[in-house]
Amino acid sequence: MAWDRNQMAARAALELEDGMYVNLGIGIPTLVANYVGDKDITLQSENGMLGMGPFPFEGEEDPDLINAGKQTITELPRTAYFDSATSFAMIRGGKIAAAILGGMEVSEEGDLANWMVPGKLVKGMGGAMDLVAGVGRVIVVMDHTSKHGDSKVLKACTLPLTGKGVVDRIITNLGVLDVVPGGLKIVECADGVTEAELRAATEATIVG
């Protein structure tokens, strides 16, 4: 037993509080929007929008209105548009309370790798490096291990970094860990996962 994608997204949504301005990455982080419930959250899309709405109804797609994943979306009564320099000014300037991002690897010092696999995947970092450097709190949502069973929660990342010492909290299919001095601290285990199982799947140092 462990959390599935939707359960991880639902757990990540618990990190969000009323009044927050939040940036959600592509993949599982996008699903977090489905679980915010009645909380008053304003979603930022780094291509130049605050107050991102749901997908449009069929036939109402607008080519001038997309999110950072290039998907057609809608606006809300609170929506504001701005240019890319202004968008990253608010990101770099610490105005965005939190970013929930996907990850390939996270280290016990809070390093994040999520943009490049040398020789295989060379798509680019997009806005990820700016987000992890600038937002108030960085929460990474990812599978705890690779398809081959190797831990992705490591003593040191093997892939090129997106940011160094930037991650605050990791939410995986096996549980929740915080980056603290000296290593990672277990916050909770996923449903049906024991602490021993979580520790066994983690290469990084676990403290406390």
Partner 1 sequence: MQKIYGSAAEALEGLLFDGMTIAAGGFGLCGIPELLIAAIRDAGTKNLTVASNNAGVDGFGLGQLLETRQVRKMISSYVGENAEFMRQYLSGELELEFNPQGTLAERMRAGGAGIPGFYTKTGVGTVIAEGKEHKDFNGQTYILETGLVMDLAIVKAWKADETGNLVFRKTSRNFNPPAATCGKVCVVEVEEIVPAGSLDPDHIHLPGIYVHRLIQGQHEKRIEQRTTRKRQEA
CA dist., res. 32 & res. 13, Å (int): 5
Q: With respect to partner 1, which residue has the nearer C-beta, 71 or 145?
A: 71
Helix (H, G, I), strand (E, B) or coil at 147: coil
The closest of 140, 135, 136, 137 to 153, measured between CA atoms, is: 140
The reply to whether 46 belongs to the active site is yes
Q: Quick one: 125 or 186, whose CB is closer to partner 1? A: 125
Of 24-83, binders to partner 1 (CB under 8 A) are 45-49, 54-73, 75, 81-83
Q: Which residues inside 94-123 make contact with partner 1, applying CB under 8 A? A: 111, 122-123
Q: For residues 1-20, which are near partner 1 according to CB under 8 A?
A: none
Alpha carbon separation from 26 to 49, 183, 193, 201, 205 (Å, rounded): 16, 27, 26, 25, 28
- At position 148, the amino acid (one-letter code) is H
From the CB of residue 117, how many other CB atoms can be counted at a distance below 10 Å? 13
Give the integer Cα–Cα distance in Å for 80 and 53: 12
Assess 161 for contact with partner 1 (CB under 8 A).
Answer: yes
Q: State the residue for tokens 């968008």.
A: 87
**CB closer to partner 1 out of 53 and 197:** 53
State which residue, 103 or 134, has the beta carbon closest to partner 1.
Answer: 134
The least distance separating partner 1 from the CB of residue 48, rounded to whole angstroms, comes to: 5
Query: Of residues 25, 102, 103, 134, which one binds partner 1 by CB under 8 A?
Result: 134
133 binds partner 1 (CB under 8 A): yes
Active site amino acids: 46
